[in-house]
Structure 1
């Protein structure tokens, strides 16, 4: 029987991927470590997603530091995770938390589904594998919010160069090689992808050599997508960062372990309570606890543990540890809309089924993009619009999004018990400016989709067609869906609604940090996996400095 860790190791430089004994060592080592769980570890990292995996790996680089990485989900060694073009099969599966938003009058009383990863690797194991760094203005805004240049664009650009293993045209000014994160432009893309870039160029959007680097300093741009796919296989953040260290004695990865609460002595976090194999366990953290559970479960665990709005906690009978009214507030996501065309002659999708991306603006005078569009090489839409318009057997989609929605949602507990579900009031399209931006997004998608470079691929436009006024608004409210970029619910900042400071410490609490997309003050421009890796790298840097951890990076994976 395969274990959670029986899977080919990444072929990154310096690894022992050709060592036939590596997987056996991992299986044996992790079996031993998890069957002999300790009462206390130096660090407990909660969540193995795009931030938590980075934190756990960087801490475990010090052989004298014990690290426990907790994951509520199970193995990532399944075809729908490993095989890049099967990613959509994870949606709604047991590898997806399958959250559901509240019915919302601004989207015609629909309940929008919010997928998040419940598996080793978190979102990086079920997402579309697009690597998008975020815009220069995003990072400079974050630095200004916390008055810390370490979060600014120049600092973050250095991090990106350090962590990347770029397999595209050499670009040392912007791209890095030799790091843990394999990235490449979608190889041998479907012909419709470069045609989409040409279509964007025909409407005034400049073409770039790749969608990161220079393009993330521009107001508009189009490029073949950067993807975390190698030889048709997914490269998750867990596989890139954690897996190569799983034969070491100081890193324990425990799956099917649901974090229910934090434990405290006064205002000091002392560890976690977990539900594991039907039993509640308490495990201590001698140094720190790091929450990397994502923008829905991180605030949920904080509130269940007594950190949140005092009045809300008291109403539910939860003892208050720290009044932080911003916990669960400021919920953001890229609201997205499908525009669909039927193929004239069907083409098979390639790579991750999404190989072209472009960024633009909804109005003149903006200094950074407020719209972005990913092409899907299959037809897709909300259930409501699929019924209304029908979907062709063979087609393609421009999946357009509002990059910086003004609408803000909130999360609420329904009870004091950790098993009580959380309520997601996403408030999608509640700000009237978002509807105006959505109209501009649809107009841009139609302008590109119906442009001359794409006509050879079009039999007909399926949706929305030339709708105006109330009909267009109805289409938008029925189309609105999640881009699966849930963020910002425990934001970094200095105001009364901030939850963490620039060093990711939870205000008023010792030995507790948050490292995931919930700390972003604003959702970044484009897909959020890469920014979450940066959050993990920043958290690790901060922890190393604060606790004076020395890193010993070994050139092989043997236990020494």
Structure 2
């Protein structure tokens, strides 16, 4: 166990009362990722409420976290939960590695740092599913204005400048990023000055990426929100604390049990408990605590507290198919290695982009099953599905915390996804083989020219994940919904969920920014319920 403070020389906060059942707080937030960090900070900043933030991983001070270019080194490390999917027929029986951040900052401590808000139609879909306009795009713009310290051209309608989250574009993008924009423009794809302005309201476009890099270093969501509050006596952060189950009084959650230093400890909440453990561990804790599909819980001997058949269902993720070109000579890599992105439609009749392309300024190896060689120097378009139609599920393998979740991604099971994947690869090859790239590359190394059958084979064997798992405890009003419009778990008091699992469907683009919004929205709802007055929040009244 580590009681975490901003300054290691400052004694950790030990002022909270201890009793026979454990430590007591007003609020308990489980998970210090891109949503949980926001919830904990917004509840603690008032000063009148005691807040406990529990995190299963460690701190966020490693060079592999701080250095933007070293993010790939975190994959498969102790900072990664290291989930692996079950064999998937749509991927020729392959098992996808499904990385997820473990440690202060969660995914924001190991990701590529791309800030992508989600498309206007994503948020309007959230509002329709929840029956609540507060989740709609116009309302969400208010949250983003409050969140950001935007470093680009002023846009008072869409951008914020006084928030906690630093967002900026690379000052001098590499030549390969500029080449992508030129290639996109040449085939009629509109260019935008920023990803998160008009581009997220349109049919698609290309732009220089927006990143969470300040003065050459990664800035995690934990750093932006929680670090400034760590000296406060009403906030306690405990790392290496694995939440194992919820503690109930009837159908009211009273707190949580966590495994710390090999011992099980209980923490109690006077007001509410918030699960922000991510799209795999949130449904796992729910199910192992007795909230979920009753048949599955009963098969593992878990007493049913609340039958909710949607827990663990509706699993979604962005798939990517790496198209790669070899450089003529070694080229520099800027920032995190991702300095340009593109969203487009595979079918003009769609209401929003369904193709997602993030350009990586280095060559990404294809899975071994693809049988493709990777050039020593090159670039890869992480090119894939922004709005997949396939839906997976999670299943328990047992009732105990050490029993792994069985993740069935069900990738490429719907024919619409293969059609969109073929269109995405065709678009990518058209861009990468255009005149604008010829001064930089010698040629395409993956997938190369193939017939339709060969391209389908490439897609199935090369598909990897963007690590954007979501939607496994969705918000909505049908019988498969897990939380309502206020993120309260149906049938349970004192419990909310705030992380990517509540998304009814996955957002367009990288999911970090939407997770910050979910955390902000949860904090507003909780504060309103308990009469906590917001401080230092100039835009609070507008949302």
What does residue range 69-88 of structure 1 map to in structure 2 within 5 Å? 69-88=53-72
- Deviations along 1:225-271, whole A, 9 cap, x unmatched? 00000121001100000010000100000000000000001000000
Q: CA separation in 1, counterparts of 2:18 and 2:383?
A: 49
Normalising by structure 2, report the TM-score. 0.96
| Equivalence for 1:363 | 347
Shift in Å, 1:33: 6.2
- Deviations along 1:411-447, whole A, 9 cap, x unmatched? 0000111111110000011112111111001001101
What does residue range 393-432 of structure 1 map to in structure 2 within 5 Å? 393-432=376-415
Shift in Å, 1:187: 2.1
Shift in Å, 1:385: 5.4
Q: CA separation in 2, counterparts of 1:42 and 1:323?
A: 27
Aligned residues between the structures: 535
Q: CA separation in 2, counterparts of 1:334 and 1:389?
A: 22
What does residue range 269-280 of structure 1 map to in structure 2 within 5 Å? 269-280=253-264
Residue 28 (1) aligns with residue 10 (2): yes
Is contact 1:29-1:247 (8 Å) kept?
A: no
Q: 1:27 to 1:252 in 2, by over 3 A?
A: farther
| Equivalence for 1:15 | none
Which of 435, 440, 452 is residue 469 of structure 1 equivalent to? 452
Shift in Å, 1:34: 9.5
Which of 499, 503, 508 is residue 486 of structure 2 equivalent to? 503
Q: 1:232 to 1:5 in 2, by over 3 A?
A: farther
Shift in Å, 1:27: 4.5
Q: CA separation in 1, counterparts of 2:360 and 2:166?
A: 22
Indicate the SS of the match to 1:318.
coil
Runs of 4+ in 1 over 6 A off after TM superposition: 33-37
Is contact 1:5-1:77 (8 Å) kept?
A: no
| Equivalence for 2:541 | none
Q: CA separation in 2, counterparts of 1:30 and 1:554?
A: 27
Is contact 1:4-1:77 (8 Å) kept?
A: no
Shift in Å, 1:173: 2.2
Q: CA separation in 2, counterparts of 1:124 and 1:475?
A: 30
Residue 151 (1) aligns with residue 164 (2): no
Range that drifts further, 366-375 or 530-539: 366-375
Normalising by structure 1, report the TM-score. 0.93
Is contact 2:366-2:374 (8 Å) kept?
A: no
Q: CA separation in 2, counterparts of 1:188 and 1:171?
A: 22
Unmatched 5+ residue regions in structure 1? 7-22, 556-560
Q: CA separation in 1, counterparts of 2:307 and 2:67?
A: 45
Indicate the SS of the match to 1:81.
helix
| Equivalence for 1:484 | 467
Q: CA separation in 1, counterparts of 2:9 and 2:534?
A: 25
Aligned-pair Cα RMSD in Å: 1.7
Q: CA separation in 1, counterparts of 2:161 and 2:451?
A: 49
Q: CA separation in 2, counterparts of 1:505 and 1:29?
A: 35
| Equivalence for 2:92 | 108
Is contact 2:3-2:12 (8 Å) kept?
A: no
Shift in Å, 1:31: 5.9
Q: CA separation in 2, counterparts of 1:411 and 1:321?
A: 19
Indicate the SS of the match to 1:355.
strand
Range that drifts further, 322-331 or 413-422: 413-422
Indicate the SS of the match to 2:236.
strand
Is contact 2:86-2:406 (8 Å) kept?
A: yes
Shift in Å, 1:453: 1.3
Is contact 2:4-2:238 (8 Å) kept?
A: no
Q: CA separation in 1, counterparts of 2:284 and 2:355?
A: 30
Shift in Å, 1:346: 1.4
Q: CA separation in 2, counterparts of 1:271 and 1:56?
A: 15
| Equivalence for 2:325 | 341
Shift in Å, 1:381: 3.3
Shift in Å, 1:520: 0.2
Indicate the SS of the match to 1:189.
coil
Indicate the SS of the match to 1:222.
strand
Q: CA separation in 2, counterparts of 1:109 and 1:553?
A: 52
Q: CA separation in 1, counterparts of 2:300 and 2:54?
A: 27
Which of 24, 36, 39 is residue 52 of structure 1 equivalent to? 36
Q: CA separation in 2, counterparts of 1:534 and 1:101?
A: 28
Q: CA separation in 2, counterparts of 1:101 and 1:457?
A: 37
Range that drifts further, 141-150 or 194-203: 194-203
Residue 186 (1) aligns with residue 146 (2): no
Is contact 2:168-2:210 (8 Å) kept?
A: yes
Q: CA separation in 1, counterparts of 2:484 and 2:89?
A: 35
What does residue range 109-508 of structure 1 map to in structure 2 within 5 Å? 109-384=93-368, 388-508=371-491
Is contact 1:63-1:552 (8 Å) kept?
A: no
Q: CA separation in 2, counterparts of 1:493 and 1:441?
A: 30
Unmatched 5+ residue regions in structure 2? 539-543
